[in-house]
Amino acid sequence: MKIMMLAGNKSSSHLVYQKINKTSPISTVVMEGSLSKKGMLKMRRKRLGLRTVVGQVLFQLVCLPILKRAARGRTQQIIRNEALDMAPIPESEIQRVSSINDEETIAAIQLEAPDLILVCGTRIISKQVLEATGAPFVNIHAGITPYYRGSHGGYWALVKQDKRNCGVTLHYIDTGIDTGNIIAQEKISVTSKDNFVTYPYLQLAKGIQLLQRFLLENKTEAITPKIADKDRKGHVFYHPTLFQYLHFRKRLKVK
């Protein structure tokens, strides 16, 4: 089975590649450039409003550096325990594009003719790219769908006091936001040492295990795409604002 990867230039993409490539070789990686901060803020403002975006920026400037320092030891522990490889994807394996939705991506997919496309850390993939091949697109989502779509599903599940849905989903991609058919799901176990920074590492480690199992079960044949259940909408979550984070930490003890 020929496997291709569409990726954002994020640590999660490199971690997934290094783990999967050892047992299920990835033929090529199309990696998009990062969206400019100005462009990202403009998009968020249009979707969420200025007040929310300002609050999100304040969270990233004030809280996130403190949380990263506090989680440094726990992050390293997760990396060791899960045998995660932090090495970058070899540059020789990468084809770089400005956006994953560029014509270059479509051309690369059609040239490669993969049986399966793994997606990790990209912006929302356009219908044109999804229709460029008959191969299914598969993604590790940091949340239990359809309940926690969007960003930081583990954190928001804890905020909602919904530990049974604090986990990760392996799913097919369609044109919606995390609305594709579910392949597998797994809960994560959160300790007192974990916080907003480490939840994604726990989710990614579990998600990679689900992906490895999926590939092992389907390694000898091409995978037939599934039709998404359009009735399962759920909710879309975004980055917390500074006020939200401090409020939920004080009231619910969610770090």
Whole-model pTM: value is 0.89
- Using left for φ > 0, alpha for ψ between -120 and 50, and beta otherwise, residue 49 falls in left
CATH assignment of the domain containing 69:
3.40.50.12230
What is the rounded CA–CA span in Å between residue 104 and residue 28?
Answer: 14
Show pLDDT as tens, one digit a residue, over the chain (255 residues).
899 999 999 999 999 999 999 999 999 999 998 877 777 777 777 888 889 999 999 999 999 999 999 999 999 999 999 999 999 999 999 999 999 999 999 999 999 999 999 999 998 999 999 999 999 999 999 999 999 999 999 999 999 999 999 999 999 999 888 888 899 999 999 999 999 999 999 999 999 999 999 998 876 455 555 444 444 567 899 999 999 999 999 999 999
Which residues lie closer than 8 Å to 203 by C-beta, 6 or more apart?
140, 142, 143, 153, 154, 167, 168, 188
Which residues lie closer than 8 Å to 158 by C-beta, 6 or more apart?
166, 190, 199, 252, 254
Stretch (H or E) spanning 95: strand 94-97
The residue among 234, 244, 229 whose CA lies nearest residue 162 is: 234
Domain of residue 167 covers: 3-252
Count of domains for the chain? 1
What is the rounded CA–CA span in Å between residue 195 and residue 190?
Answer: 9
